[in-house]
Structure 1
């Protein structure tokens, strides 16, 4: 029987975590996914369908820890008129369905990979989010993650199951997609980018650092019923991040010093205010609670993490 069950084992975070858990001989893990990818299932994943209807009764006996990394992170255009309801279906109902089954089966610990969006969308420069801050989600995704957290903590208070919540900011690493992948492509093409005068600060977390923190939470006694913010422990401006990406890939980032105010004004006129906030605004997290309570330190620096985006798997 497995000691650990991991949901979302074929996702960006889940696949890296699944590989690392299988590599560590002391862990026996079963990875779950919604459906098997086409072709041979070389990873040995177990399909469970939609989380809100998933039945894990055959898998849970003997399991000590359930790590829940599966989530709905995006709503495509035309998929629903009520984004919050769509997110709730998976992120709240699905999470609590698994958690109730875990309680019934006697699972000792439930580790929930949440999101920094529970805290909000941005911070003042030099005023990072803290794990004890009052939640203030600004979008439907963040709200759904908060509701899942609240439901899990209610379960924990009424049962013997321990809950651990981890809120990562933007996660990067080999195979990353989305906005981070787009930024890599822009630097790779050598295009002039108007971010040479951006002095914000943003926290990131490399996939290897996040996986290391999750593994630390599997059996550390001090992690029980706690909320942790994840991060690399180094905050970068957009300019510094682009230069770091260029250094990691061996191509200098061509940055033009355009004032942040002018960029924000132009982006707002084009209806791209949210993108401007991510590029120009600050979002910092304080990871001291995880470092102190769990005696943890991110094993990789930001530059090492960026370097691994281009070297891992190429040996």
Structure 2
């Protein structure tokens, strides 16, 4: 049987590289992964040659959060890449006869927080709160409209925080804090968070490549296990073989300190809950996460320690 060609954007990124590894390992796909320079996301980018003979597109490239934002109009810059660039790629994909377009979106389309006992669901009314989330939502809307107009099937996947070997940003900071034995005032937090191990996310994408019930649907991606931040840090400590040093500071004091320091936004991300319900994934796709949270954390910690010993 001839191999099918899959175009993966963002192939050098954390999620994109994991997708490419899995596709290549299966041995039934020909993976096309344009370089970052060749795959600039813009309304004028020409994708014709990259899309020739492609069966499906997995679009993982995006403009993500920038800590030191230099753009004069942040929303316009996010729209230029995440909306205009995405829809340009999708329009050319439809014209090239691509069968299915999988869009890696973000839980930020649903919102920033969930209320106690009310996990976010894929079919909830979107409520993005920042420029990034708004741009992802606008891209989703445009893609689903394009699907209706052209017949190209679109699948939207909104991951929560993704972790795994080679993870960067805030999750890497947590690994470093725990390994160094830094005392953290986070031992009394009742908030609950959903996370997704990168290989669970990849497995969901693989399920969505061909499943007929995935067409033109939105799915949330998580491990299906929610933990408090305190529980997560203790589990990271266990995976690293170093007990997490957590101080039981009341959440009200942490909120007050964050307000005094002008970091109310950080307090919201750190102290609030963000839980998701992935029941739809099982109902429509028969999909459940193959890796448990403990397995994902152990693999992440092992890679972290191995990188330090090189």
Query: Same-fold call, TM > 0.5?
Result: yes
8 Å contact 1:128–1:284 — kept in the other structure? yes
Counterpart-to-counterpart distance in 1, 2:171 and 2:69: 25
TM-score, normalising length: structure 1: 0.93
Aligned to 1:81: 72
Matched, 1:161 2:163: no
Counterpart-to-counterpart distance in 1, 2:280 and 2:188: 32
Aligned to 1:40: none
Correspondence for 1:31 among 4, 20, 33: 33
Correspondence for 2:259 among 264, 268, 278: 268
Aligned to 2:277: 286
Deviation at 1:291, TM superposition (A): 1.7
Matches within 5 A, 1:195-274: 195-274=186-265
Number of residue pairs aligned between Structure 1 and Structure 2: 304
Aligned to 1:7: 9
Deviation at 1:182, TM superposition (A): 1.0
Correspondence for 1:297 among 278, 288, 296: 288
Correspondence for 2:22 among 11, 20, 30: 20
Structure with higher helix content = 2
- Bigger drift between 75-84 and 170-179 goes to 75-84
Aligned to 2:50: 59
8 Å contact 1:203–1:232 — kept in the other structure? yes
Aligned to 1:105: 96
Counterpart-to-counterpart distance in 2, 1:79 and 1:248: 38
RMSD: 1.5
8 Å contact 1:2–1:30 — kept in the other structure? no
Counterpart-to-counterpart distance in 1, 2:303 and 2:111: 32
Correspondence for 1:177 among 160, 168, 188: 168
8 Å contact 2:103–2:154 — kept in the other structure? yes
- Bigger drift between 72-81 and 293-302 goes to 72-81
Deviation at 1:311, TM superposition (A): 2.4
